[in-house]
Amino acid sequence: MPKRVSNRHILVIHGPNLNFLGQREPEQYGHQTLDDINESLHTKAKELGFQLSDFQSNHEGELIETIQKAVGRVQGLIINPAAYTHTSVAIRDAVLILAVPTIEVHLSNIHKREPFRQRSFIADIATGQITGLGAAGYLFAIEALANIIS
């Protein structure tokens, strides 16, 4: 049985290509970098009395392993699976294994994009989904999770 680290711990998972935020299609994803987003999340988590861990990878298996290692250690998940949103049953299954309140976040509005981007394998198992609000969506997600967990 995994050891509990904190009863107020949120994990943030960022999927592929989000390490290029600020450079990649800024008209679609904004000008903030992933470091900017993570810094604001850590600040907000501290204000709310939560510990926060963040992780980004371009590799599906690394994302899954990070989620699995969080079992019993975190009380909430914010996930932007990026392109894996539309393709990864394996990430969906890992989120189900984690079994904590989960907010799916997308910088752009996936429902206004290409048809293949409008399907999310996470949406129906997530507590909520925030899409199209840019980097602010992450801050809304952490506030929502703090309220749900508290």
Question: Domain holding 101: CATH number?
Answer: 3.40.50.9100
Instruction: Determine the distance from the C-alpha atom of residue 16 to the mean position of all C-alpha atoms in its chain, rounded to a whole number.
Output: 12
Q: Which residues are catalytic?
A: 29, 106
- The verdict on residue 3 lying in a domain is no
- The verdict on residue 126 lying in a domain is yes
* C-beta of residue 121 within 8 angstroms of C-beta of residue 91: yes
Within 10 angstroms of residue 150's Cβ, the number of other Cβ atoms is: 10
121-134 burial code (b ≥16 CB/10 A, e <16): bbeeebeebbbebb
Token pair for 30: 């904004």
pLDDT for the residue 6: 53
- pTM comes to 0.91
Q: Which of 4-8, 28-32, 101-105 has the lowest mean pLDDT?
A: 4-8
- The verdict on residue 2 lying in a domain is no
Q: How far apart are CA 143 and CA 146, in angstroms?
A: 5
- What is the number of domains present in the chain? 1
Contacts of 91 (CB under 8 A, 6+ apart): 60, 63, 64, 67, 79, 81, 84, 121, 122
pLDDT for the residue 78: 98
User: Which tens digits make up the pLDDT trace of 73-125?
Assistant: 999 999 999 999 999 999 999 999 999 999 999 998 988 877 767 789 999 99
Domain that holds residue 143: 9-149
